């Protein structure tokens, strides 16, 4: 079997559709195919008294005048001139309906909006953008602690039997687990789903960018005794993509979901004295911690991979918060161009009336 296994190959996303199984929220139904052949007419047989053969119907039906004929529109096949829901006259022509823009594909456009965010700098600090959310030197892992981290991963191997089923499901179902905290779909909360897909897209882009900068080997490359129960993902270890995705998704959902979901907590630093209880956090953050931690139990990530993934998600969310706090919202050049401030406001309204 190849070391690149679909989901783990994206470290949390399965070609984007697998982020929760895009078929689940209702963006896809069936195969999406609409083949047209020659169907037997339900009314006309061939003009032979005893014939059992029906006349074949094509599409458009044979009795419909050709396009451009004066009677063409009278058969219901004319070009639409009015909005079916509002009755408004199209002037000059209708645009693609915004609500029909699939959330996973919309996230590609929204990634562009994220890349355009810039937090002004100061006399001593440069502007903050997606390019400098981390520093290649100061945020690199401490190689002096690698042996300690590997020993900790070997200790975690005893928990594999109890988490294996869950961890395998979370390889390509991060969003599915988050949706389980407070259920929503692309049909019930379309703006929220767009935010979720956008968060996953941003996190994946950033995680792979920084993986390519640091090129950290996977734990089992240094400690074969770890013997991960899954194929080791075919990309560097630091930061953890699952950690980056899970935390950024949790941060964004907490921004629009009811306040009762709780405050954001931080995982204790590696090597420090563990707290008596988990740091305070709501269910979304706790689920993010759980999914990131399960990757350590599988032996495919160090604890420091998880921590830097959370930090990367936090820095990216700082940029998003800057964009959505703009008053008035950043102007857009084209009607369909994603506007993060408007998108988050629409998602908040969804939960206000839920």
pLDDT tens sequence across 209-257: 999 999 999 999 999 999 999 999 999 999 999 999 999 999 999 999 9
Helix, strand, coil % over all residues of the chain, rounded to 5: 45, 5, 50
% of residues, the chain, pLDDT over 90: 50
Of the candidates 291, 310, 154, 300, the residue with the CA atom closest to the CA atom of residue 233 = 300
pLDDT at 203 over 90: yes
Residue ranges of domains in the chain = 101-352
Choice between 281 and 224, residue whose per-residue pLDDT is larger: 224
Q: Select, from the ranges 51-55, 105-109, 193-197, the one with the highest average predicted confidence (pLDDT).
A: 193-197
Q: Identify the burial level of 192 via C-beta atoms within 10 angstroms of its C-beta, where 0-12 means exposed, 13-18 middle and 19 or more buried.
A: buried
Q: Name the pLDDT band for 98 (thresholds 50, 70, 90).
A: confident
**What is the predicted pLDDT for the residue at 9?**
42
Taking all residues of the chain, what is their mean pLDDT, rounded to a whole number?
A: 80
pLDDT at 39 over 70: yes
Choice between 89 and 235, residue whose per-residue pLDDT is larger: 235
Q: Are 326 and 342 in contact (CB under 8 A)?
A: no
Q: Which uninterrupted H or E stretch holds 210?
A: helix 190-214
Choice between 80 and 17, residue whose per-residue pLDDT is larger: 80
Residue-by-residue DSSP string for 47-87: SSTT--PEEEE-SS-TTSPPTTSTTTGGGT-SPP-B-TTT-
Architecture of domain 101-352: Up-down Bundle (1.20)
Q: Select, from the ranges 29-33, 50-54, 57-61, the one with the highest average predicted confidence (pLDDT).
A: 57-61
Facing residues of 82 across strands? 89
Tens of pLDDT, residue by residue over 150-182, are: 999 999 999 999 999 999 999 989 999 999 988
pLDDT at 84 over 90: no
Choice between 50 and 36, residue whose per-residue pLDDT is larger: 36
Q: Name the pLDDT band for 342 (thresholds 50, 70, 90).
A: confident
Q: Name the pLDDT band for 338 (thresholds 50, 70, 90).
A: confident
Q: Name the pLDDT band for 97 (thresholds 50, 70, 90).
A: confident
pLDDT at 69 over 70: no
Which of these ranges, 139-153, 260-274, 327-341, has the smallest mean pLDDT? Answer: 260-274
C-alpha distances out from residue 289 to 111, 247, 253, 284, 353, Å: 24, 8, 15, 9, 29
Q: Name the pLDDT band for 23 (thresholds 50, 70, 90).
A: very low
Q: Name the pLDDT band for 279 (thresholds 50, 70, 90).
A: confident
Which of these ranges, 12-26, 167-181, 292-306, has the smallest mean pLDDT? Answer: 12-26
pLDDT at 5 over 70: no
pLDDT at 258 over 80: yes
**What is the predicted pLDDT for the residue at 28?**
45
pLDDT at 274 over 70: no
What interhelical angle do 303-324 and 103-115 show, nearest 10? 80
**What is the predicted pLDDT for the residue at 21?**
37
Choice between 281 and 159, residue whose per-residue pLDDT is larger: 159
Q: Name the pLDDT band for 11 (thresholds 50, 70, 90).
A: very low
């Amino acid at each position: 079997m190849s070391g690149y296994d679909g989901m783990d190959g994206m470290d949390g996303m399965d070609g984007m559709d697998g982020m929760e199984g895009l078929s689940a929220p209702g963006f896809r139904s069936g195969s999406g195919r609409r083949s047209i052949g020659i169907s037997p007419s339900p009314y006309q047989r061939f003009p032979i008294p005893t014939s059992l053969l029906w006349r074949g119907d094509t599409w458009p039906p044979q009795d419909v005048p050709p396009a451009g004929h004066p009677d063409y529109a009278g058969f219901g096949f004319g070009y639409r001139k009015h909005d079916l829901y509002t009755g408004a006259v199209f002037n000059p022509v209708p645009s693609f309906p915004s609500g029909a823009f699939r959330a996973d594909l919309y996230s590609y456009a929204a990634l562009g909006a994220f890349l355009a965010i810039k937090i002004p700098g100061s006399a001593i600090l440069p502007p903050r953008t997606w390019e400098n959310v981390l520093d290649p030197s100061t945020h690199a892992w401490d190689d002096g602690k690698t042996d300690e981290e590997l020993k900790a991963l070997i200790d975690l191997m005893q928990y594999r039997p109890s988490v294996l089923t869950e961890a395998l499901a979370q390889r390509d179902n991060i969003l599915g687990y988050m949706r389980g905290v407070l259920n929503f779909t692309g049909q019930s909360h379309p703006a929220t789903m767009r935010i979720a897909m956008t968060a996953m897209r941003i996190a994946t882009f950033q995680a792979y960018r920084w993986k390519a900068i640091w090129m950290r080997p996977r734990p089992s490359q240094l400690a074969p005794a770890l013997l991960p129960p899954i194929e080791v993902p075919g990309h560097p270890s630091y930061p953890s993509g699952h950690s980056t995705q899970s935390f950024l998704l949790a941060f964004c959902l907490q921004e629009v979901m009811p306040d009762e979901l709780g405050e954001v907590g931080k995982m204790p630093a590696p090597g420090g004295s563990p707290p008596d209880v988990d740091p305070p956090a709501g269910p979304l953050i706790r689920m993010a911690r759980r999914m990131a931690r399960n990757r350590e139990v599988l032996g495919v990530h160090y604890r420091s991979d998880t921590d830097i993934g959370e930090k990367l998600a936090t820095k990216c969310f700082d940029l998003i918060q800057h964009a959505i706090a703009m008053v008035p919202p950043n102007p857009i050049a084209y009607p369909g161009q994603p506007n993060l401030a408007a998108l988050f406001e629409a998602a908040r309204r969804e939960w206000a009336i839920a």
